Structure 1
Amino acid sequence: MFKYVINESAYLKLLDLSDVDELFALTDRSRDTLREWLPFVDDVKTVTDTERFVKRAMQQYADHNGIQAGIYYDGKLAGVIGYHQINWQHKWTSIGYWLGNEFVGKGLVTNSMKALIDYAFYYLKLNRIEVRVAVGNIRSRTIPKVLGFHEEGRLRDAEWLYDHHVDQVVYGITAAEWKKIKMANEATVVL
């Protein structure tokens, strides 16, 4: 079982069947906001749809091909973050994330990203992580920038959102770059 403590208020936990009802309710409450940038929302109509997603996430973890973790804040499910899949041959993955409306602005995604980046580079021994974000999703684009990812390019018409294509910006960071950032942050704290 995957569990990663972020701080005294927040932790990540591999999604399992006990999370289905709470995850569906969170998705449903945040449906209008999530739908603006995430293509899966209209496919989540019932608790059974969420159960299918969680079962796929559990299988993904069992197959050693990624993690879909719940972001928990003060004991409540606040969102989801995970590796889409892991390319073991080339040692890279990509990360996706979302939060329910009532949990935005608490630093949860940024801190959850730090945890998954550390896990990817130090435990899984991967070499590269990508984040792809719709060009217009400014709030979500801020997160990889703050964490030191490099903007690597723009993919035209890369994602279908219900009735139109959107361009995506690709951000990337390598294990060596992340280690330098961590070392610089630790040196700043010591001073």
Structure 2
Amino acid sequence: MFKYDINENTYLKLLDLNDVDELFTLTDRSRETLREWLPFVDDVRTVEDTEKFVRNAMHQYANNNGIQAGIYYEGKLAGVIGYHQVNWQHRWTSIGYWLGNDFVGKGLVTNSMKAFIDYAFSYLKLNRIEVRVAVGNIRSRTIPKVLGFNEEGRLRDAEWLYDHHVDQVVYGLTAAEWKKLKSTNENTIVL
């Protein structure tokens, strides 16, 4: 079972069936905000839809193909962060994340990203991480920039959001870059 303590108030835990009701409620309460940038929201209409996602996440983890973790803050499920999949041949992954409305602005995604980056490079021994974000999603684009990712390019019409395509910006970070960032910025990149 995957669990990663970030600080005294925050931890990450592999999603399991005990999280289904709370995850559905969190998604449902934040539906309008999440829908602006996340294409899955309209597919989550019932608790059973969330259960299917969690079962898939558990299967993904069991097959060593990534982690979908709940972000827990003060004992409450605040959001989700995950490796979409792991390309073991080339040793890279991509990370996605979201928070419920009540948990935005607390540094939870930034701290969760630090943990997931460190875990990918230190434990999984991956070499590269990508984050892809819609061009207009300024708040989400700030996170990889703050963490030292390089903006590598723009993918035109890369994501379908309900009734239109949006461009995505690709951010990349290598294990060597992360190691250098951690050694030169020990006061700003703390796990």
TM-score by length of 1: 0.98
How do residues 4-153 of structure 1 correspond to structure 2 at under 5 angstroms? Answer: 4-153=4-153
Matched residues, percent identical? 86
Structure 2 match to 1:165: 165
**SS of structure 2 residue aligned to 1:186:** coil
CA separation in 1, counterparts of 2:7 and 2:182? 17
Task: Give the alignment's Cα RMSD to 1 decimal.
Answer: 1.1
Deviation of 1:186 (Å) = 2.3
Q: Which amino acid aligns with 2:75?
A: G
CA separation in 2, counterparts of 1:33 and 1:89? 36
**SS of structure 2 residue aligned to 1:106:** coil
Q: Deviations over 1:19-59 (max 9, x none)?
A: 00000000000000000000000000000000000000000
Q: Which runs of 4+ in 1 moved over 2 A?
A: 186-189
Q: Deviations over 1:61-119 (max 9, x none)?
A: 00000000000000000000000000000000000000000000000000000000000
Unaligned stretches of 5+ residues in structure 2: none
Deviation of 1:187 (Å) = 7.1
CA separation in 1, counterparts of 2:188 and 2:47? 47
Q: Which amino acid aligns with 2:46?
A: T
**SS of structure 1 residue aligned to 2:160:** strand
1:180 aligns with 2:163: no
Unaligned stretches of 5+ residues in structure 1: none
Q: Which amino acid aligns with 2:14?
A: L
Check 1:81–1:187 CA distance in 2 against 1; reply closer, same or farther (3 A cut): closer
Deviation of 1:188 (Å) = 7.7
